[in-house]
Structure 1
């Protein structure tokens, strides 16, 4: 997302997804919302992974998921978000519910074991059928 400048987590996620058999287009850090949406339209991925470490993930992700879900050509695109999604540990469950209600298919909060993400990814079809 545009406000998140981390790089290592993006490389880790890329390597993990590639190990799970997926081709990855890593857009890098600080990517504007419109660039993410247009890249998804161009590449038609089988999954979009949004990662946040700055604590603004919940706030910044809602407009992004709204823009993605508004595009008919991206209908059915699985979109997940993970990382440090807020600055308050007390709101973790509430934030996860908000993000799911906004249109995310899964939320992986900071500290969730990696196996749950791998299980989610493993259940995805390897080919796009939109």
Structure 2
């Protein structure tokens, strides 16, 4: 199958306490329009169910959406469990979270940095440009791939198999004040300081 085009697969879910589904429908349509295969797990997905879905579907990325304001609490717990998984293909999958991460409004700016430090590869603050999701996913495309429909032979497992500890610690160890400033001053591309190189 080395010449066969294969879509990149994304597992999409909310955090375990979030029952909203409109955000998932929107994100699924957005991702499918950009050429991704989407496995939508739905709302209120327990952490263990999401981790087993990653094990079963072997996605290229995981996208977590939060609308209820508990993204920070539930997301931190989820990413800790995922990164601790014994299977490096599960523990090393690129994971992004976005939406309403907390309930403090403008005071939630520090939550993005905390979530990156916890193990997320990218964090999208409430009100982020939806197009940034596709651009961020493209950054996690394995070396040699040409986008969502890259040839299977060109894809590598390096982004999915690198353990969390092998990832660049640059963004994860940057000061919280630097991350907050970057998020506040660059709303069109708020993830530059928050991303961790795969």
Q: TM-score by structure 1 length?
A: 0.93
Q: Is the partner of 1:113 in helix, strand or coil?
A: coil
Which residue among 53, 72, 82 is the counterpart of 2:67? 53
Tell me how far 1:63 sits from its aligned partner.
1.0
Question: Is the CA contact (8 Å cut-off) linking 1:44 and 1:74 kept in structure 2?
Answer: yes
**Across the two proteins, how many residue pairs are aligned to each other?**
130
Q: Which runs of 5+ in 2 are unaligned?
A: 1-14, 142-147, 149-154, 162-198
Q: Supply the distance in 1 between the matched residues of 2:29 and 2:52 (Cα, whole angstroms).
A: 23
Would you say 1:9 and 2:23 are equivalent positions? yes
1:29-44 paired onto structure 2 within 5 Å:
29-44=43-58
Determine which structure has more spread, i.e. the larger CA radius of gyration.
2
**TM-score normalised to the size of structure 2?**
0.62
Question: Which residue does the alignment assign to 1:111?
Answer: 127
Structure 1 residue 128, shift from structure 2 partner = 6.1
Note closer, same or farther for the CA distance 1:128–1:67 as it changes in structure 2 (3 Å cut): farther
- Give me the whole-angstrom Cα distance separating, in 2, the residues matched to 1:28 and 1:82: 15
Q: Secondary structure at the match of 2:124?
A: strand
Task: Give 1:120 deviation, angstroms.
Answer: 0.5
Q: Distance in 1 between matches of 2:119 and 2:156?
A: 19
| Consecutive aligned runs of 4 or more in structure 1 exceeding 4 Å deviation | none
